[in-house]
């Protein structure tokens, strides 16, 4: 995840080819001003905007929308351009509240062309402003940096353009708005996401339009709501497009829910204030006048909440419709265990881009589950928490069994979605307490060897993995990976540790922390199954370990926060139906493919 910027903060840009993603609660106009060293823009031709020929090095969206992607190639900009300023403006709509303070804070994210996030900035603190300078990309000592600006203008787009030194700013502002009006210079129907939030252009430079693009555009052109299409997102492959689409659905639901909560909170606060005003007037406490004032305040509250609920219901219905077409199209790494793709599963020839850990949902949208996908290879270890959660009433033994079943299902998925021989699983089970759930792995021969048991087994397994990580780190740092022994197993390794910290002494704890920190870069990944209460005797010694791991739960629990508005999302693990028979079949197929490949 990239750096979270605050107003005025800057951050170096490691690449010159970038994408800038803008998301807002309502459609907004996005443009970019190409300025000199002082940021001054000499004429309207230096404004990259809808409906006009794009200056070299920058591509802006074709119309106002709630989500935008700007493609930027800083190396292609003219030498005279020293600053690129990204600006946002609210649409000119009669009767609409044209203030950024009336919507959730917009967000700007700078990414590499492969989607790797570099920096992000939430434009908070806006009120009466209808135009805002969001980000500034500027040259500095032979390189480029990004600065979070967030400067708003209550007098709108003309005042913003005037501040950039642009001659005749009001005329230029009119030309920007003219491009998005019906019959304007480029009256096109942009592609649209069916997930709510307005039209989005997902066209990727150098990539031809797909059938999904055509279907969405056709729906928009007919005047009907666009039909959901699986793979309706940016990306070079269907897997990448589906990954980006799932994340787009996650963000859409987060922002739609934020808008709904904000509106209902505002309605409640206004109702309280108006009722307080009624009670503050002694003459209004009795008689018909007071009752009428209270009824009027309640009616305004109910009307505002009703509008907010209707908007949220509309957005939710669109997202549910999208989920219904996306879920069946997901590849095995992303799919539910109940998906038909597992019935005829074959070992892949390439590793996947990401893997599904479970599902996420919010209280206002309990019917909609968003797949929780994380990038591979795993940059952080995982911790399946076998401790009690507020909504879980199972006894301790049952929680531990369920937690280990989650770990086994995830291990099976990772084995199944990697090419034969490129991923392996090792288990440490000090007391042998996990024999039942681990049976799916041991019976099929999916493990590198029998689970390590007892203090001696724990010490030996950790020592071997520590040596492995040290060897790979030295080879990578010395640029001599070809010097690794011929019999060295180059497969990525998942280490499952059950009932931690049982069987661990101080030396073993030190090695485990080393594997958690250094293992991922050397191809060793940690999956801990533990109740944190069992390790209370170690005090703060293990705090860094717990913080380094991503916590999962075997039963629904509210503990994941999204990066946009910080909702507490309920996580549910990806568990197989019908007693795990599908996992057994998949692991048997993995073992058969491994034997055949030898």
Instruction: Say what the pLDDT of residue 469 is.
Output: 93
Taking the mean position of all CA atoms in its chain, how far away is CA 452?
36
Model confidence at 69: pLDDT above 80: yes
Tell me, yes or no, whether 375 lies in a domain. Answer: no
Tell me, yes or no, whether 506 lies in a domain. Answer: yes
Is-cis flag, bond preceding 356, omega within 30? Answer: no
Stronger pLDDT, 533 or 294, i.e. the higher one? 533
Cα separation of 480 and 483, whole Å? 5
Specify the range with the lowest mean pLDDT, choosing from 53-62, 118-127, 214-223, 512-521.
214-223
Q: Is 390 exposed, middle or buried (0-12, 13-18, 19+ CB in 10 A)?
A: exposed
Instruction: Say what the pLDDT of residue 354 is.
Output: 96
User: E-strand spans in 397-491?
Assistant: 423-428
Model confidence at 222: pLDDT above 70: no
Tell me, yes or no, whether 362 lies in a domain. Answer: no
174 three-class SS? helix
322 three-class SS? helix
Residue 138 shares a structural domain with residue 184? yes
Q: What CATH number has the domain bearing residue 546? A: 3.40.50.300
528 three-class SS? strand
Tell me, yes or no, whether 358 lies in a domain. Answer: no
Beta-strand relationship, 10-12 and 131-140: unpaired
Instruction: Say what the pLDDT of residue 315 is.
Output: 87
Cα separation of 226 and 193, whole Å? 8
Distances from the Cα of 232 to the Cαs of 11, 237, 329, 377, 509, in angstroms? 32, 11, 12, 25, 46
77 contacts 58 by C-beta, under 8 angstroms: yes
- Phi, psi angle pair for 450, to nearest 5°: -60, 150
Tell me, yes or no, whether 369 lies in a domain. Answer: no
Residue 145 shares a structural domain with residue 246? no
Residue 96 shares a structural domain with residue 205? no
Place of tokens 């056709």: 218
29 three-class SS? strand
The structure's pTM equals: 0.65
Specify the range with the lowest mean pLDDT, choosing from 163-177, 182-196, 366-380.
182-196
Phi-psi region of 392 (alpha: psi -120 to 50; beta: other; left: phi over 0): beta
Q: The tokens of 81 are what?
A: 């351009």
Kindly report, residue by residue over 441-468, the tens digit of the pLDDT.
Answer: 999 889 999 999 999 999 999 999 999 9
Cα separation of 518 and 479, whole Å? 17
Beta-strand relationship, 492-500 and 83-89: unpaired
Residue 521 shares a structural domain with residue 397? yes
Kindly report, residue by residue over 120-171, the tens digit of the pLDDT.
Answer: 999 988 888 999 999 999 887 678 989 888 889 998 999 999 988 888 888 8
Q: What is Dmax (Cα atoms) for the chain?
A: 93
Domain hosting 16: range is 3-188
Strands of the sheet containing 354-361, edge to edge, are 370-375, 354-361, 568-573, 557-561
Model confidence at 252: pLDDT above 80: yes
Kindly report, residue by residue over 534-547, the tens digit of the pLDDT.
Answer: 999 998 889 999 99
Q: How many domains does the chain have?
A: 3
Where would I find the H helices in 179-234? 211-221
Cα separation of 107 and 22, whole Å? 6
Residue 134 shares a structural domain with residue 12? yes
Residue 290 shares a structural domain with residue 408? no
Residue 411 shares a structural domain with residue 394? yes
**Helix, strand, coil fractions of the chain, as percent rounded to 5:** 40, 25, 35
């Amino acid at each position: 995840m990239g750096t979270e910027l605050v107003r005025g903060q800057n951050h170096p840009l490691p690449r010159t080819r970038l994408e800038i993603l803008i998301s807002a609660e309502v459609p907004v106009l996005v443009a970019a001003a190409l300025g000199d060293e002082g940021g001054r823009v000499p004429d309207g031709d230096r404004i990259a905007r809808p409906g006009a020929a794009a200056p070299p090095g920058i591509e802006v969206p074709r119309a106002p929308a709630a989500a935008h992607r700007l493609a930027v190639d800083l190396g292609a900009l003219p030498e005279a351009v020293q600053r690129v300023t990204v600006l946002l403006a609210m649409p000119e709509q009669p009767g609409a509240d044209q203030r950024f303070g009336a919507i959730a804070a917009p967000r700007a994210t700078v990414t590499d062309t492969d989607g790797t996030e570099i920096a992000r900035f939430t434009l908070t603190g806006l009120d009466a402003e209808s135009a805002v300078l969001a980000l500034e990309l500027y040259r500095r000592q032979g390189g480029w940096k990004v600065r979070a600006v967030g400067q708003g203008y209550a007098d709108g787009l003309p005042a913003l353009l005037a501040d950039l030194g642009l001659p005749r700013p009001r005329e230029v502002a009119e030309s920007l708005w003219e491009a998005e009006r019906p019959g304007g210079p480029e009256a096109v129907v942009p592609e649209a996401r069916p997930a709510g939030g307005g039209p989005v252009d997902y066209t990727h430079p150098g990539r031809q339009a797909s059938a999904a693009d055509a279907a969405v555009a056709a729906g928009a052109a007919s005047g009907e709501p666009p039909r959901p299409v699986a793979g309706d997102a940016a990306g070079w492959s269907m897997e990448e497009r589906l990954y980006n689409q799932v994340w787009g659905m996650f963000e859409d639901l987060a922002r739609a829910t934020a808008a709904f909560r904000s509106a209902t909170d505002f309605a409640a606060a206004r109702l309280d204030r108006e009722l307080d005003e009624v009670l503050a007037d002694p003459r209004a406490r009795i008689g018909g006048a007071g009752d009428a004032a209270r009824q009027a305040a309640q009616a305004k509250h109910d009307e505002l909440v009703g509008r907010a609920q209707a908007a949220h219901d509309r957005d939710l219905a669109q997202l549910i419709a999208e989920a219904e077409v996306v879920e069946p199209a997901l590849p095995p790494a992303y799919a539910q265990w109940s998906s038909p793709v597992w019935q005829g599963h074959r070992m892949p020839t390439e590793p996947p881009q990401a893997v599904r850990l479970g599902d996420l949902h919010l209280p206002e949208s309990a019917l909609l589950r968003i797949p929780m996908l994380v990038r591979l290879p795993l940059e952080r270890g995982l911790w399946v928490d076998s401790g009690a959660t507020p909504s879980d009433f199972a006894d301790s033994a049952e929680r531990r069994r369920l937690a280990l079943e989650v770990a086994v299902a995830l291990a099976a998925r990772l084995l199944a979605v990697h090419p034969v021989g490129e991923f392996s699983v090792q288990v440490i089970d000090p007391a042998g307490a996990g024999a039942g759930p681990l049976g799916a792995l041991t019976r099929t021969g999916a493990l590198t060897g029998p689970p390590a048991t007892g203090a001696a087994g724990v010490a030996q397994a950790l020592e071997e993995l520590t040596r492995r990580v040290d060897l790979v780190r030295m080879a990578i740092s010395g640029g001599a990976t070809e010097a690794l022994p011929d019999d060295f197993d180059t497969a990525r390794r998942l280490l499952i540790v059950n009932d931690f910290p049982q069987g661990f002494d101080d030396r073993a704890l030190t090695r485990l922390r080393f594997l958690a920190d250094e293992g991922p870069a050397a191809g060793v990944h940690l999956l801990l199954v533990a109740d944190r209460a069992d390790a209370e005797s170690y005090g703060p010694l293990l705090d860094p370990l717990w913080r380094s791991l991503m916590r999962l739960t075997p039963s629904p629990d509210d503990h994941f926060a999204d990066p946009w508005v910080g909702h507490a999302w309920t996580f549910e693990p990806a568990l197989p139906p019908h007693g795990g028979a599908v996992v057994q079949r998949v692991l048997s197929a993995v073992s058969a493919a491994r034997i055949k490949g030898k």
